């Protein structure tokens, strides 16, 4: 006969229960680790997929924003070029207005000097300078009479006053002269300007 002792030993637990727990733990330990690893892997893959999708959405938004920025920069560049051209034209118009508004309008000044010279055949101008209303003329004439006629012609335009000559010197076959005067805007009923 075989005897089986089912009673627990006094020095430890019953035979078989601890072994079963150990075996169960030994068998389930790697499975639990695999389950945890599989869960972590699935969560990581899901998170990575979500990040990849969000990254592609953000990349598309960045590309769209860059295209919009290029369009805006092109428009801003065009606006800047138009604004620069507008400012250039404004400054030119202002300069022309200043010329015609000023007391010594260069176009009128040259026209009036030319008209005075047309009356006298033997006058040649070499230099004409003006600063404000003050005008300086340098040139050559054939005779003193021609020079006197030129001064009378300047006064006769109605634009020149206080005509003063500085030098009248012989220079070869001609007389070199320099004179200064004041250029005045035309007056209504222009005739000779009183000195």
- Residue 89 shares a structural domain with residue 111: no
The region of weakest confidence among 17-31, 54-68, 115-129, 135-149 is 17-31
Q: Is residue 194 part of a domain?
A: no
- Residue 33 shares a structural domain with residue 66: yes
Burial class of 138 by CB neighbour count within 10 A (0 to 12, 13 to 18, 19+) = middle
Q: Is residue 56 part of a domain?
A: yes
Higher confidence at residue 89 or residue 108? 89
Helix axes 17-101, 106-119, angle to 10 degrees: 30
- Residue 20 shares a structural domain with residue 97: yes
Q: What angle do CA 26, 39, 51 make, to 5 degrees?
A: 155
Domain count along the chain: 2
CATH code, 143: 3.30.1360.100
Q: Is residue 6 part of a domain?
A: no
What is the percent of the chain with per-residue pLDDT over 70, rounded to a whole number? 83
Higher confidence at residue 102 or residue 52? 52
Higher confidence at residue 67 or residue 18? 67
Cβ contacts of 190-195, under 8 Å, gap ≥ 24: 190/157, 190/158, 190/159, 191/158, 192/155, 192/156, 192/158, 193/155, 193/158, 193/159, 193/160, 193/161, 194/161, 195/155, 195/161, 195/162, 195/163
Task: Assign 100 a pLDDT band (cuts: 50, 70, 90).
Answer: low
Domain that holds residue 135: 106-183
Q: Is residue 5 part of a domain?
A: no
Q: Is residue 45 part of a domain?
A: yes
Q: What are phi and psi of 61, to 5 degrees?
A: -65, -40
Q: Can you tell me the distance from the alpha carbon of 72 to that of 82, in angstroms, rounded to the nearest whole number?
A: 15
Residue where a domain terminates, one of 101, 132, 147: 101
**Mean pLDDT, rounded, for 60-88:** 87
pTM exceeds 0.85, yes or no: no
pLDDT of residue 38: 86
For the chain, give percent helix, strand, coil, nearest 5.
55, 20, 25
**Mean pLDDT, rounded, for 73-81:** 83
pLDDT of residue 10: 55
Q: Is residue 7 part of a domain?
A: no
pLDDT digits (tens, 9 = 90+) for 9-40: 555 555 567 777 777 777 777 777 788 888 88
- Residue 133 shares a structural domain with residue 118: yes
Q: Is residue 189 part of a domain?
A: no
């Amino acid at each position: 006969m075989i005897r089986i002792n089912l009673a627990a030993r006094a020095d430890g637990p019953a035979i078989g229960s601890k072994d079963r727990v150990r075996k169960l733990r030994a068998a389930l330990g790697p499975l639990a680790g695999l389950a945890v690893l599989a869960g972590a892997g699935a969560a990581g893959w899901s998170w990575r997929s979500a990040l990849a999708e969000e990254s592609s959405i953000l990349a598309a938004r960045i590309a769209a924003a860059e295209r919009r920025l290029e369009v805006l920069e092109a428009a801003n560049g065009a606006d800047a070029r138009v604004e620069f051209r507008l400012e250039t034209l404004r400054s030119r118009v202002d300069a022309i207005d200043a010329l015609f508004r000023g007391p010594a309008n260069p176009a009128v000044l040259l026209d009036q000097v030319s008209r005075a010279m047309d009356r006298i055949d033997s006058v040649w101008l070499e230099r004409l300078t003006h600063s404000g209303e003050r005008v300086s003329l340098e040139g050559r004439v054939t005779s003193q009479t021609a020079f006197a006629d030129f001064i009378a012609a300047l006064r006769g335009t109605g634009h020149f006053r206080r005509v003063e000559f500085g030098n009248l010197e012989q220079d070869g076959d001609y007389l070199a002269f320099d004179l200064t005067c004041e250029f005045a805007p035309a007056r209504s009923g222009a005739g000779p300007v009183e000195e």
